[in-house]
Amino acid sequence: MPPRPRARVPLHPRLAHAAVPLLFVLLCVLGAIAGHITPLFLIREMLARFARNAVLVLSLLVPILAGLGLNFGIVIGAMAGQAAAIVVTLWGVRGIAGFALAWVLAAPIAVVLGIATGWLFNRARGREMVSGLIAGFFANGAYQLVFLFAVGSLIPFHAREVLLPQGFGLRNTIDLDGIQYAVDDLIPLRVVLEGSSVRVPLATFAIIGLFCALNLFFQRTKLGQELRAMGQDPHVAAIAGIPIERNRVIATVISTVFAAWGQLFFLQNLGTLNTYSSHEQVGMFSIAALLVSGATVTRATVGQAILGTLLFHTLFVVSPIAGRVLLGDAQIGEFFRVFVAYAVISVALVLHAWQKGSRKSSS
């Protein structure tokens, strides 16, 4: 008996899945043409932006695999990373040793916070995305209470140069020159683009590649297969003996630790910490970057995370310049890209709720 030919996926569903990334490619191309942006300028900007943000976007994949949806709580991991960066800066540990120490310090903080967030998700099953968002607001309040009030008053602090004039609370901006480019310059490489020398963060790209490989490897492990089964049907997974609640906590911890490390990559590339605001938009922009690649609340891949980071941050580069050229005001472009970020998340959540309702009514 001859083998059956493989069924081909119709063209229409393929186009439907690719509609969002194609739309963003079109917006980026049109914006680049309108703003007279050269490819070399775009490459120069994207080298730094991709290195800053890729790990943060990758931190969203494991909770989606486990059926937790979009983890708005990664902002909690970002705060853990910032706390570690502050401590390392105040201790005066510089270079790659300082960055490595910040990684080591951030991990246990993120693990504890991830366990707490996972416990919350288990108590709010089915409402994890809203719970993660509210948990982020709560953690932000606690973070500001510690660094704006407790440091220097309740917590002894001797580095007066980074305190506010009243003698307690950290200043709004902290210079991270001790760990700036600690990873980016580990393998020093510069290229000349449009007459200026541009840093190429090879070591950072290699570590991002390692994170991608770890994600792919993790999905093939026993735990990864259990998380996938939970994401597809938690009821069947529970009947099969998979420890649902424990695995949900583990998925949240992994995401929170990755987010803490991702925020450290962001800060070492930027070199400046806005003490009370650097973490606030981490969740929104990382989730929007993932969704513009065609990922959904229930399915996302490593390739989509990389593609989404490139597309979303290309639009971030293009839109202010296009807004200035077309309308005489770069702020219009800023408003547009923020609107796009929130619109993409809103549409994804509406589609998820609609699909969930459709499945319930058909069953």
Q: Whole-angstrom Cα distance, residue 306 to residue 322? A: 24
pLDDT at 342: 78
pLDDT in tens, 30-49: 888 888 888 888 999 899 99
pLDDT at 1 over 50: no
pLDDT category of residue 5 using cuts at 50, 70 and 90 = low
pLDDT in tens, 269-302: 998 999 998 898 899 889 989 988 888 888 899 9
Q: Whole-angstrom Cα distance, residue 112 to residue 40? A: 43
- Residue 49, C-beta contacts closer than 8 angstroms, at least 6 positions apart: 313, 316, 317
Q: Whole-angstrom Cα distance, residue 135 to residue 177? A: 31
All structural domains of the chain: 17-362 (1.10.3470)
- 273 pairs with which residues across the strands? 174
pLDDT category of residue 83 using cuts at 50, 70 and 90 = very high
DSSP letters along 93-136, please?
Answer: --HHHHHHHHHHHHHHHHHHHHHHHHHHHHHTTT-HHHHHHHHH
Tokens representing residue 126 in the block: 């089915």
pLDDT at 328: 74
pLDDT in tens, 245-259: 999 999 999 999 999
User: Hey, which of 169-173, 248-252, 310-314 has the most confident mean pLDDT?
Assistant: 248-252
